[in-house]
């Protein structure tokens, strides 16, 4: 198991980075938010899989399909950029997996916004553009980040990288004073690309759910958990065709989903969700709704 990297260093493909926080507004410290990103999970495949931890979040709150914005590729670049910023691709500028040019400076991600409020933020991920400068990133900027590179050893070890990233997330969220976190897994998407959406894809989805549970268990074991008020969101960016692959306009590619629960979330809500609402749900979970001068609706 690789050790945690020191600030700015890289060890066995895993990078941990810390940055300064800026204080503009103080929220009550009991309010906490964890957003779980699981890449490339079809809504119908999620419903067929055994996902007790995502199901528990849905029971306490909601689970809803999300129609991917139709004027950009059904791909990770525009998907996660929309989820992060709360605006659609025609506003943030990312329409495919080349994230350049973009308007992230004008429409910051929800972790950046939380950090500017003086809150502590954390992100762990296994797709480079989310946390590094690769491909025009990073999409997310947090006070502490942990990137596990699935290709660090010259192979495509996506599941191993997810395990490493989630382990760091569980250790951090179980002990550190983090107010807002993003924890991402790539394995379901990679399995679909290589093997289609059959049995292996279902296994990858179920393993991703188990890792969501690993982080949730760490949160619930926090010393101050009973005094805290947590909002938990789980979201995917796009789906896949049966043979594996996305980027087109089929319902299988363009039906994503969002699940969430927390003090500011209406339990049992019905109807579709939209990717742009994730940022607003995060701000609501932190005790602040919307943002000064930021576009929240298309």
Task: Give residue-wise pLDDT tens across range 57-89.
Answer: 999 999 999 999 999 999 999 999 999 999 999
Signed CA dihedral, 160, 45, 220, 18: sign only: positive
Q: What is the pLDDT of residue 156?
A: 63
Q: Residues of the chain with pLDDT > 90: what percent?
A: 84
Query: What is the rounded distance in angstroms from the CA atom of residue 134 to the CA atom of residue 128?
Result: 6
Query: What is the rounded distance in angstroms from the CA atom of residue 27 to the CA atom of residue 286?
Result: 7
Q: What is the pLDDT of residue 263?
A: 95
Q: What is the pLDDT of residue 76?
A: 97
The DSSP H or E segment spanning 209 is helix 199-220
Please state, rounded to an integer, the average pLDDT across all residues of the chain: 89
Query: What is the rounded distance in angstroms from the CA atom of residue 111 to the CA atom of residue 293?
Result: 17
Location of structure tokens 């890289």: 10
Residue 233 is encoded by which pair of tokens? 């969101």
Q: What is the pLDDT of residue 144?
A: 98
Signed CA dihedral, 77, 80, 84, 85: sign only: positive
Is 4 a residue whose pLDDT tops 90? Answer: no
Q: What is the pLDDT of residue 5?
A: 28
pLDDT grade for 2, boundaries at 50, 70 and 90: very low
Strands 144-148 and 14-18: antiparallel
Whether the CB-CB separation of 162 and 148 falls below 8 Å is answered with yes
Whether the CB-CB separation of 259 and 61 falls below 8 Å is answered with yes
The DSSP H or E segment spanning 173 is helix 158-175
Ramachandran category for residue 102: left, alpha or beta (phi over 0 → left; psi -120 to 50 → alpha): beta
Q: What is the pLDDT of residue 151?
A: 82
Is cis: bond before 138, omega within 30 of 0?
Answer: yes
pLDDT grade for 294, boundaries at 50, 70 and 90: very low
Query: Which range among 126-135, 149-158, 251-260, 275-284 shows the weakest confidence by mean pLDDT?
Result: 149-158
Query: What is the rounded distance in angstroms from the CA atom of residue 211 to the CA atom of residue 26?
Result: 31
Residue 191 is encoded by which pair of tokens? 């399995």
Signed CA dihedral, 94, 100, 106, 107: sign only: positive
Sequence-distant (≥ 6) Cβ neighbours of residue 175 within 8 angstroms = 222
Answer with the residue of higher pLDDT: 19 or 117. Answer: 117
Domains of the chain with bracketed CATH = 27-178+207-285 (3.40.720.10)
Q: What is the pLDDT of residue 15?
A: 62
User: 267 to each of 87, 230, 280, how far by Cα in Å?
Assistant: 24, 14, 16
Q: What mean pLDDT is predicted for residues 253-273?
A: 96
Q: What is the pLDDT of residue 155?
A: 53
Answer with the residue of higher pLDDT: 14 or 162. Answer: 162
User: 115 to each of 110, 123, 178, 227, 273, how far by Cα in Å?
Assistant: 9, 12, 11, 22, 26
pLDDT grade for 172, boundaries at 50, 70 and 90: very high
Complete edge-to-edge strand list for the sheet that includes strand 144-148: 10-11, 14-18, 144-148, 121-125, 180-185, 31-38, 229-235, 255-261, 62-67
User: 264 to each of 125, 190, 281, 283, how far by Cα in Å?
Assistant: 26, 34, 8, 10
Query: What is the rounded distance in angstroms from the CA atom of residue 10 to the CA atom of residue 66?
Result: 36
Whether the CB-CB separation of 79 and 231 falls below 8 Å is answered with no
Let me know how long the chain is.
298
Residue 111 is encoded by which pair of tokens? 């972790």
């Amino acid at each position: 198991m690789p050790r945690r990297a020191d600030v700015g260093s890289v060890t066995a493909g895993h990078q941990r980075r810390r940055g300064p926080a800026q204080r503009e507004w103080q929220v009550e410290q009991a309010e906490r938010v964890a957003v779980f990103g699981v890449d490339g999970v079809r809504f119908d495949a999620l419903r067929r899989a055994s996902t007790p931890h995502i199901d528990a979040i849905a029971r306490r709150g909601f689970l809803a399909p999300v129609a991917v914005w139709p004027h950009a590729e059904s791909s990770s670049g525009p998907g996660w950029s929309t989820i992060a910023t709360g605006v659609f691709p025609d506003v943030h500028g990312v329409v495919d997996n080349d994230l350049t040019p973009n308007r992230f400076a004008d429409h910051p991600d929800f972790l950046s916004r939380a950090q500017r409020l003086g809150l502590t933020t954390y992100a762990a991920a296994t797709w480079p553009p989310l946390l590094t400068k690769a491909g025009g990133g990073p999409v997310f900027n947090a006070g502490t980040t942990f990137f596990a590179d699935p290709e660090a050893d010259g192979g495509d070890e996506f599941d191993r990288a997810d395990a490493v990233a989630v382990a760091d997330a569980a250790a951090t969220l179980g002990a550190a004073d983090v107010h807002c976190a993003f924890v991402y897994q790539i394995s379901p998407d990679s399995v679909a690309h290589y093997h289609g959406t059959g049995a292996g894809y279902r296994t990858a989805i179920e393993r991703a759910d188990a890792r969501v549970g690993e982080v949730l268990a760490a949160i619930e074991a926090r010393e101050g958990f009973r005094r805290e008020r947590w909002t938990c969101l789980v979201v995917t960016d796009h789906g896949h065709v049966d043979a594996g692959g996305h980027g087109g306009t089929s319902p299988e590619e363009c039906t994503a989903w969002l699940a969430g629960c927390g003090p500011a979330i209406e339990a049992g809500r019905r109807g579709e969700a939209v990717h742009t609402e994730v940022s607003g749900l995060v701000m609501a979970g932190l005790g602040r709704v919307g943002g000064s001068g930021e576009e929240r609706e298309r």
